Amino acid sequence: MRLTSFTDYGLRMLMLMASAPERAYSTAELADAFGLSRNHLAKIMQSLSRGGLIETRRGGGGGAVLARPASEIRLGAVVQHLEQGQALVECFAGDGGNCTIHAQCRLKARLRSAETAFLSDLDRSTLADIALEPIAQTE
């Protein structure tokens, strides 16, 4: 059972943004804070932006800001958005996969139920609950 690194990194970015919701974080700053590639994070940022979770501004002084208060952004929703297109098992994919059971499969429903349980449990928390302390700007 695995989440993509895409999701992992996206969560870290949001955690940091939630720490100081009033200011804009640039991808360069986030990449620096986490020791990751700037361009890579830019892709994730774009996904978050399209998902309506953050708002971005170009140009000097630009960057990304949470679109809503951190306390209104539920973790399950975030994960669900970032994991878009990731099928839990083959037969959950768009084309249904090549499973030969299919018709009489009673497992599918149980997996969906479990998936929902996973997301619901995450939805009990919001970004405000996991916000980081602002990174030390001592230098």
What residues make contact with a copy of itself under the rule CB under 8 A? 1-5, 7-8, 11-12, 15, 33-35, 75, 79, 83, 86-90, 98-101, 104-107, 110-111, 113-122, 124-125, 129-130, 132-133
- Chain positions contacting DNA, by CB under 7 A: 4-6, 9, 24-28, 36-37, 39-40, 42-43, 45-46, 49, 56-64
CB count within 10 Å of CB 69 equals 12
Nearer to a copy of itself, 33 or 67 (CB): 33
Residue type, 41: L
DSSP 135: P
Residue 105: CB minimum distance to a copy of itself, A? 8
Residue 42: CB minimum distance to a copy of itself, A? 18
Residue 60: CB minimum distance to a copy of itself, A? 27
The count of residues in the chain is 139
CA nearest neighbour of 107 among 95, 119, 118, 115: 115
Nearer to DNA, 63 or 126 (CB): 63
